[in-house]
Amino acid sequence: MTDSSPAARWSSPEMRARLRRRHAAERRFRRLGLGAIGLALLALLTLLVSIVGNGSSAFLRTRIALDVHFDPEQFGSLGDLSPAERVRRASDVDWGALVRDALTRQFPDLSSRRELRALQGLVSTGARSELRALVLEDPGVIGQSVRVWVPAASNVDALEKGQIPRDPDADGARFDAQELGWIATLEERGLVERGFDWTFLTNGDSREAELAGVGGAIVGSLLTLLVTLAVAFPLGVAAAIYLEEFAPHNRWTDLIEVNINNLAAVPSIVFGLLGLAVFLNAMHLPRSAPLVGGLTLALMTLPTIIIAGRSAIQAVPPSIREAARGLGASPLQVVAHHVLPLALPGILTGTIIGMARALGETAPLLMIGMVAFVVDVPAGFTDAATALPVQIYLWADTPERGFVEKVSGAIMVLLAFLVLMNGTAIWLRQKFERRW
């Protein structure tokens, strides 16, 4: 007579073989999961190392010292004019001649125009703007000799960073032996230095790689996100509250809910086309402005905020609503005093996640003209501006070598913004979250 007890069945050879196969399958599944996580982390690490390796040098800038003599004969009565008149008359001064004279004093033996042009090419064209700004700020320098540190040309900057070989016969060389000798002489005299480039974070765009910065794009992104938040957050929260707490459950509300869920998956370029048709062609708002960009991104972010808001409101226990009604609270008081405060962490988290997605969008902004070349930092919501993703797109399409590191540096700034926004979402959730 066979033993049919549970203990006997679990200790039978067939059951032990089945358990071994089950445990082996579980181990294989765990290994696959760990392998997938490891592969994802490796890909992320490779991406970060590549971006940081290429972009860290974008935050450094090479400068060359010029001993500039501000000859009074070249400036005339510029120092005696009012500030406004001084700005108007500054265009009459040959600032390039000041740069050329300062360089030729270091190398007085040069005479041919080709050599003088090559020597002046070691310094960025932005040196003229810096000399102009110095005189406009302090006219007292007229008649004096002052050492001024000016940005080096893009190729000189790349040479100092080791991105260009110093051998004139090597592949990728940008300088001949004479030019390399000039640079070596300047280095020996202590007239070349490398330091942190604050202008990368404050300047606007430029056609010269050594002068280009993300300051305009940062301000443009912030202004755009402010408009997006001001429009999408109150509308999204109000829609979520109405659909979840007040709307009757019928065919129309079901249709609205389905459409909101579908809009959350619509490609972002469709919202760009909608913004182009409504805000530019129909309402005639200023093109390439943060106002239009924010309104367009608000349309894209609204479904995400509504869905996150409804989920957060649904998570509030029904007993809280019932207790508030039992104490005589009206439906609006129940929502405003009890449901909304408890759902706020989830609503804020969903909002910041939607804003982070809006920060990284490029296609909608391209459709409304924020791909324009904008040099000045925008001062308002209607000024021409660009955004960080669009700036990265523009620089990535530029063939000049100096913009390669600028692209990675701008990506680092964008990632820092995204990490900051997601970190804020985590902090808000932990700060306002309540457990019951």
Q: Which two tokens stand for residue 122?
A: 């070691």
Q: How far is residue 271's CA from residue 367's CA, in Å, rounded to a whole number? A: 9
Query: In the predicted model, what is the mean pLDDT of residues 38-43?
Result: 94
User: Scanning the structure block, which residue is given the tokens 């599944």?
Assistant: 29
Give the model's pLDDT for residue 234.
93
Instruction: Inform me whether the pLDDT recorded for 1 exceeds 50.
Output: no
Proportion of the chain above pLDDT 70, given as a percent: 96
Q: pLDDT digits over 208-219, tens only? A: 888 888 998 999
Helix (H, G, I), strand (E, B) or coil at 370: coil
215-432, which class in CATH?
mainly alpha
pLDDT at 136: 85
pLDDT at 239: 92
C-alpha of 79 from chain center: 41
User: Is pLDDT of 171 > 90?
Assistant: no
pLDDT digits (tens, 9 = 90+) for 348-386: 888 888 888 888 888 888 888 888 788 888 888 988 888
CA distance 273 to 398: 26
Give the helix/strand (H/E) hosting 384. Answer: none
Average of per-residue pLDDT across 223-240: 93
Residue 141 and residue 157 in contact, taking contact as beta carbons nearer than 8 Å: no
Q: Average the pLDDT over 410-430 and give the result.
A: 85
pLDDT at 236: 93
* 9 has pLDDT over 70: no
Q: How confident is the model at residue 6 (pLDDT cuts 50, 70, 90)?
A: low
Q: What is the pLDDT of residue 267?
A: 87
65 sits in which H/E element: strand 60-69
The predicted pLDDT at position 235 comes to 94
Domain ranges for the chain, please list them: 61-188, 215-432
Would you say residue 43 has pLDDT above 90? Answer: yes
pTM to 2 decimal places: 0.84
According to the model, what pLDDT value does residue 5 have? 60
Residue 187's CB is within 10 A of a number of other CB atoms, namely 13
User: pLDDT band at 3, cuts 50/70/90?
Assistant: low
Q: Which residue in 176, 183, 301, 166 sits closest to 233, CA to CA? A: 301
Judge whether residue 328 has pLDDT over 90.
no
What's the pLDDT score for residue 79? Answer: 66
Q: Give pLDDT, residue 38.
A: 94
The values of phi and psi at residue 122, to 5°, are -75, -20
The answer to whether residue 436 scores a pLDDT higher than 60 is: no
